[in-house]
Amino acid sequence: MNTALTEQDLAAVDVLLAGDDRRRQARYPGESLTRQPVHTVYVPADRMTSTLPEQWGEAAAAALATHAADAAAFATATGHGAADVEDVWAALTRKLSEEPIEDLRIDLEDGYGQRADDDEDEHAVAAGRAIQVAAERGVLPPYVGVRIKSLEAPTRRRGIRSLDLVLGAVLAGGQLPAGWIQTLPKVTSTSQVTAMVEVCARLERAHGLPEGRLRFEVQVETPQAILGPDGTAMVARLIEAAAGRCSALHFGTYDYTAALGIAGGYQAMDHPAADHAKATMQVAAAETGVRLSDGSTNVLPVGDTRAVHAAWRLHAGLVRRSLERGFYQGWDLHPAQLPTRFLATFLFYRQDREAVGRRLAGYLRGAVGGVLDEPATARALASFLLRGIHCGALTAEEVLGLAGTDVEGLIVLAGRPGLDGTMGAC
């Protein structure tokens, strides 16, 4: 066949778009395929001890023993099928024993409150030491870090000082944990994010850390973080301002809905205003490698059995709702929320594992069935199975039997093509 355009013509188009290709690849590298924790547990700094993860696991197990001692009782309490809960019961109880917390955040902000400077200094240092002792004992969660006070003028210096003190205490006892992260709350401008980038760079130099080692989450909990004064979606600009240091966007349910004037009794994760903010976050973060986390419910499973069951049912439903909407992480504020966090998460992956596995296997074979899956959908299917393996809901052997590919194959399928056309993980 003869074509009118020559190789020289095509090369000219490549040159024209080369810069755009590089910028797009840098800004949108694709979803990160490393493990994402299913939750973040916030604990006030003055309550942090080296045994806290174990204490939370024991308290969660005790809540089950008191209010739902077996799978059938837990199914009744949460409104799930008995067979489904029985399927995950062993994995759930093992999780509470072996890894009850996946991501621990030492809180020096709202959950900690305003304290005397000397007290906060003391608690920051003690928390950093407790992190290092927990690491030495082998009980530190895979992800850990600190939430500081905001960079607004009244709390700016206090927040930076506390971060410096925690880091110093951790590093005095050894290495910075691999899953270390900082949380920047109440962001209202790109300037605050730019300032946090500068803080991280200065702390790296001061503490002898490699350049780029310190990354941070942006808490989206103000209207200004969603919509700027000129009508633009500010959250996308926040990611850009972070210069590659933003690891995640975390939604703050109650600060955000309160700022909109929503009455206290109606502030919730599933309020339409919260959904709007999270949908904006989702679009802004898509394919950037920046992860998303939903917020929390403030209805805690405490009190008598009826109250605990009601809170469990609410929490399990909200966790499932978040998962179905593409928010694979959320906040937990009480040990008794852990059973429903893991129940809802495990069921999400196990209930759909066979259908997803069949579709991916069919895609790999080139088979045409009732659903015609394209490469983008295959990426989503592979990512679903990877997440299921990462959180412990699925095993690699189980997925191999269902989808006909191993973990490495899933990573390749879930990756995006680079500039050279090869597939790979972010």
Question: What does pTM read for this prediction?
Answer: 0.93
pLDDT confidence tier of residue 421, bands split at 50, 70 and 90: very low
How far is residue 13 from each of residues 4, 6, 56, 387, measured CA to CA in Å? 15, 11, 59, 39
Q: Residue 319: name the closest of 334, 337, 335, 301 by CA.
A: 337
Whole-number pLDDT of residue 423: 45
Cα torsion 154, 159, 160, 164 to 10°: value is: 150
Q: Are residues 339 and 395 in the same domain?
A: no
Torsion 256-257-258-261 (CA) sign:
positive
Q: Are residues 255 and 389 in the same domain?
A: no
Give the model confidence (pLDDT) of 374-418 as tens digits. Answer: 888 999 999 999 999 999 999 999 999 999 999 999 999 998 655
Q: Is residue 2 part of a domain?
A: no
How far from chain centre, in Å, is Cα 88? 22
Q: Is residue 336 part of a domain?
A: yes
Give the model confidence (pLDDT) of 8-28 as tens digits. Answer: 999 999 999 999 999 999 999
Q: Supply the CATH number for residue 288's domain.
A: 3.20.20.60
Would you call 19 exposed, middle or buried from its count of C-beta atoms within 10 A (0-12, 13-18, 19+)?
exposed
Q: Are residues 159 and 180 in the same domain?
A: yes
Give the model confidence (pLDDT) of 81-123 as tens digits. Answer: 999 999 999 999 999 999 999 999 999 999 999 999 999 999 9
Q: Are residues 163 and 297 in the same domain?
A: yes
Give the model confidence (pLDDT) of 279-303 as tens digits. Answer: 999 999 999 999 999 999 999 999 9
Does the pLDDT value for residue 369 go beyond 90? no
Q: Are residues 225 and 114 in the same domain?
A: yes
Q: Is residue 29 part of a domain?
A: no
The pLDDT of 76-80, averaged and rounded, is: 97
Whole-number pLDDT of residue 365: 86
Q: Is residue 382 part of a domain?
A: yes
Q: Are residues 338 and 405 in the same domain?
A: no
Residue 380: give the domain boundaries: 352-424
Cα torsion 227, 286, 37, 319 to 10°: value is: 70
Task: Choose the final residue of a domain: 324, 348, 372.
Answer: 348
Report the alpha-carbon distance of residue 330 to residue 341 in Å, rounded: 9
Q: Is residue 179 part of a domain?
A: yes
pLDDT confidence tier of residue 372, bands split at 50, 70 and 90: low
Q: Is residue 367 part of a domain?
A: yes
In the chain, how long is the greatest CA-to-CA distance?
80
Task: Choose the final residue of a domain: 348, 366, 394.
Answer: 348
Task: Choose the final residue of a domain: 348, 380, 408.
Answer: 348
Q: Are residues 390 and 343 in the same domain?
A: no
Q: Are residues 267 and 388 in the same domain?
A: no
Q: Are residues 205 and 341 in the same domain?
A: yes
Mean pLDDT across the chain, nearest whole number?
Answer: 94
Whole-number pLDDT of residue 81: 96
The pLDDT of 200-216, averaged and rounded, is: 97
Q: Are residues 309 and 321 in the same domain?
A: yes
What's the number of domains the chain is made of? 2
Q: Is residue 279 part of a domain?
A: yes
Torsions phi, psi of 303, nearest 5?
100, -150
pLDDT confidence tier of residue 274, bands split at 50, 70 and 90: very high
Percentage with pLDDT > 90 across the chain: 91
Q: Are residues 328 and 358 in the same domain?
A: no
Q: Are residues 214 and 99 in the same domain?
A: yes
Whole-number pLDDT of residue 415: 85
The pLDDT of 341-355, averaged and rounded, is: 97
405: helix, coil or strand? coil
Q: Which residues pair with 39 in a beta bridge?
A: 330
Q: Is residue 149 part of a domain?
A: yes
